[in-house]
A and B are shown apart, each in its own frame.
Chain A
């Protein structure tokens, strides 16, 4: 056992630890990857139908890497809308990521800024969902396990998005529309959500967000989604205060 202390085996143990955390992240995001696969194809099909050349569509999926922003911008681009309008729309559609970034900040704040840029760029919704509930109560924030768990969630997501977008761009709809395969994406998100809805404040927050999302769904630029997130946070905070005035119980 003494060889555990030699530099090479210490290095080996470190690599094992990173690998294990990476795989945990991959496992946590797995249902989300089902949804991502379907969205990737759907977005790819939408891009090629909107009249973009295959090359432009591929560049868009590679650089933008945000399904909802891409789908919002496509009709604007097809209509030749002014660039400032496309930019403004893109910012509004992505505003929820500012909130996600604030939530993730404590876990990555000690990394060099280039790494924070890299981490943030890859931080899509499903990765946030896989990461936050698991580490919210972690006594130490910014551990090696947390970083590699996050990478295990976001790196496969990025590659899968690119592959499935390219499939959508080049092959079009692989599955007949009458099968409603897009519904499987919704169900995958449900499968990701249900096991995490496990306390009273979370349940109340989810129900409130659902009501807001239902009422506000006709708003443009995903403003309904943003409103639901804000209301979900407020109601969760309120429910927590009701349950334990001193924050002792959860």
Chain B
């Protein structure tokens, strides 16, 4: 199998994975009804997914090194405070970036 055929087959298979997983229930869900309680509980899925994307970036650890402290954790703390005061999405992003940059600057000074 040539390289091009291999790469394009892999890409098409990945696209198939995405289509199967994202559209599977939407297209065939009629045949798999869920209990109403469980369906209502799916409301908790979006934020659980979101926090699960955020956490490893802010509080990383690896098997080799164990838990690692990252300044990003403090910067997220600043962002949360800014959110509680202002409720503004743009300020949450800006304050977190500024906090990270200034904390790093401080560390360089000392």
Q: Which residues of B contact A76 (CB under 8 A)?
A: 10
Chain B interface (Cβ < 8 Å from any Cβ of A): 4, 6-27, 29-30, 34, 37-63, 72, 75-76, 79-80, 83, 87, 89-90, 92-93, 96-97, 100-101
Q: Is the CB–CB distance between A187 and B93 below 8 Å?
A: yes
Q: Which residue of the partner chain, among A83, A103, A197, contacts B39 with CB atoms under 8 Å? A: A103
In the complex, number of A-B residue pairs with CB atoms less than 8 Å apart? 277
A159 contacts B by Cβ under 8 Å: no
Distance, CA A162 to CA B14, complexed state (A) = 17
Residue in B15, B22, B58 whose CB lies within 8 Å of A186: B58
A174-188 at interface with B (beta carbon < 8 Å): 179-180, 182-184, 186-188
Stretch at the interface among A11-19, A165-173, A227-235: A227-235
14 sampled A-B residue pairs with Cβ under 8 A: A59-B8, A90-B13, A95-B21, A97-B18, A97-B22, A117-B19, A187-B92, A187-B93, A191-B89, A212-B52, A213-B51, A228-B52, A229-B48, A232-B49
Contacting pair A193 B54 (CB below 8 A): yes
Size category of the A interface is: 35 or more
Contacts of B40 in A (CB 8 A): 136
Q: Is the CB of A237 within 8 A of B41?
A: yes
> CB-nearest residue of chain B relative to A239?
B44
Per the bound structure, the CA–CA distance linking A73 and B80 in Å amounts to 34
Complex Cα spacing A59 to B4, Å: 12
